[in-house]
A and B are shown apart, each in its own frame.
Chain A
Amino acid sequence: MNDNPLIHIQNISKVYEMGGEQVFALRDISLDIYPNEYVALMGPSGSGKSTLMNVLGCLDTPSTGIYTFKGLDVNEMSDNDLAEIRNREIGFVFQTFNLLPRATAVKNIELPLIYSGVSSSERKSRAIKVLQDVGLGERLTHKPNELSGGQRQRVAVARALVTNPSIILADEPTGNLDTKTGIEIMKLFRDLWLKGNTVILVTHEEDVARYAQRIIRIRDGKVESDEKNTVSQYSQGTE
């Protein structure tokens, strides 16, 4: 872990103006995240986890503070630059899946490739490949409402993976799933990490956090603790 950090944030705050009153969603957060880390972000509801994820994922910009992604200053970037970073470098997985309802699994997965200008034949073969990787090779032409919750989340994970991003951000990916399906999805993330991917995952379940290698706890927009996960044998990559 002594190469350059993938993500470097320093004294980041996010303030919302609510009827003249300032609401601090993030206060003075500093973090470094290195390639091939598996990080769990934990904390009570309203503590700022999603806000932090959105900032890390370049969906949102901090009010103050420094954010460098792969050495590039994110604060300096235009909307289009941010869109490009999101497209090429970041794979987002949402709690509510956020798939296009009318598009088939393959089409959903092709979407980020469309925006990065990949040819249609390559798009299709890459989409099918990742769908097979997440174990949905049989469901290529199903639409989201023809899939189970776990299957939808697999499609969402496949969509996050298809561009070979530098980092995968997952905001409560198991929040809408039952325990058994949740475990399957967590195995998927662990496998990705074992293959060398960088993963940040938001959760408020200790069971889920146990899969990670590093656990960051947040409270009231501040980092409460940031430590290596010693509890789990999974972090060693063995079962």
Chain B
Amino acid sequence: MNILESILQAFESVRSNTLRTILTLLSISIGIFSIIGAGSAVATLDSAVNTQLVAMGENSFMIRRTPTINIGNSWRKYRNRKDITYAQAKEFKNNIESTDLISISDETDGYTAKVGNLSTDPDISLIGCDENFFTIKNMQIIEGRSFSAQEVLSATSTAIIGNDIVLKLFNGRKAIGEYLTLKNQQFLIVGILKSQGSMFGKSLDNQIMIPISTFMRYHTDEWGSSVDITGQAYSKQSFLQTVDESIGTMRSLRNVKPWEDNSFEIETNETISNQFASFTGYLSMFGIASGIISLLAAGVGIMNIMLVSVKERTREIGIRKAIGAKKNWILFQFIIEAITLCQLGGIIGIAFGVIAANGLSTLINAETQIPLFWVLFSVGTCTLMGLIFGSYPAWKAACLDPIEALRYE
């Protein structure tokens, strides 16, 4: 078999028609890159989100005004929803019977904390929360204590801080029992959170928790004062019941008519991963669509290169036939050549796709997922492309009349 010879011939084609070949290979690369890039990105995001969901704790759910992940222009649907007020949330918490683990929280960004003349960058997340928050969110307090129900009730100026704040403002000194200043208000530090690393490129330790009551009084941002409710069922068995009860309670608190849809979102691990799946679905579809378009363009280019190659090598084909090459040999030779060309472009695309996926995962601090499936898919696609777009030129070559081919100048 002269497979090796055909493969070498493909490299020869690259050399003799450098510019055209490189442009075509580039569009194959772009096509494969889109597919691999989207595939890897989706795999990476998926694994990051799955880790996150597990960290969120089992049997927990969230009630919010709008969904966490919002795709497309569906925001119109949510625009007219009324805020979940703190009062409403408190009533909800009192009314739920199937679990005691209900937490009310709200968050705002861009805070600066000061201790003496030391101050942080204005990038702290300030979270108002209650005594159940840390349990439900699986957050450990490594030093000091959590908030008490009494503290939340009476809106004290106490704070639990993340590790980044400790490092920046206390630098080895004891933080518990000290005060820090947020917007001219002094807070007594009562607890320090266990470090949680980062997620999607954002540190999870750069945050300060204060009682939700205190938060509502002083720190609601201009986005309105809708709070988030997080709940946790006692067990897997009671989870659905608790979710049902929550929906019912929330609907009656917000006066939702029986024929109307919920005027709030209730999110479970499942709904979030579904939302996420539809987001990553869009991403893969986009990647595949743009991939297919550039691959089609590349296919036409490959066909063109192969036609030129057949034309330029008419005499060679004549020689081969005169010496006894059968039709299939010539056909095979040119198809192998086309496939090799496609694979060449594909390998470059795979390499860049994997590099991009690596970049993404470093960016969001997740483990890189090299989607083996997509790599195999790309190799398969390139083979198929070589077959499809190489067939016609190869067939033309195979059907050449040996005498005319030998006479060709």
Contact = CB atoms under 8 A, between A and B. Distances in A.
Interface residues of A, number: 25
B283 interface: no
Interface stretch (B251-259, B271-279, B321-329): B321-329
Contacts of A100: 316, 319
A23 interface: no
Interface string B304-322: 0000000000011011111
B376 interface: no
Contact of A83 (B2, B318, B324): B324
Contact of B326 (A57, A60, A115, A163): A115
B12 interface: yes
A188 to B, nearest CB: 19
A80 B329 CA distance: 10
A25 to B, nearest CB: 11
B11 to A, nearest CB: 11
B327 A98 contact: no
A151 to B, nearest CB: 18
Nearest to B328: A80
B309 to A, nearest CB: 13
A59 B402 contact: yes
B323 A111 contact: yes
A62 interface: no
Contacts of A84: 324, 326
Nearest to A94: B406
Contact of B403 (A59, A80, A114): A59
A115 B323 contact: yes
B403 A83 contact: no
A86 B329 CA distance: 15
A54 interface: yes
A98 B406 contact: yes
Interface residues of B, number: 18
A102 interface: yes
B4 to A, nearest CB: 10
Contacts of B12: 102
A112 interface: yes
Interface centre among B318, B322, B323, B406 (most CB of A within 10 A): B323
Interface in B161-186: none
B325 to A, nearest CB: 5
Interface string B369-409: 00000000000000000000000000000000011001000
Interface string B1-17: 01000000000100000
Given A98-B406, A102-B12, A80 B327 contact: yes
Contact of A115 (B315, B318, B329, B403): B329
Nearest to B320: A111
Given A101-B316, A115-B324, A115-B326, 5 more contacts: A59-B402, A60-B403, A79-B327, A98-B318, A115-B329
Interface of A: 54, 57, 59-60, 79-80, 83-84, 86-88, 92, 94, 98-102, 111-112, 114-116, 159, 163
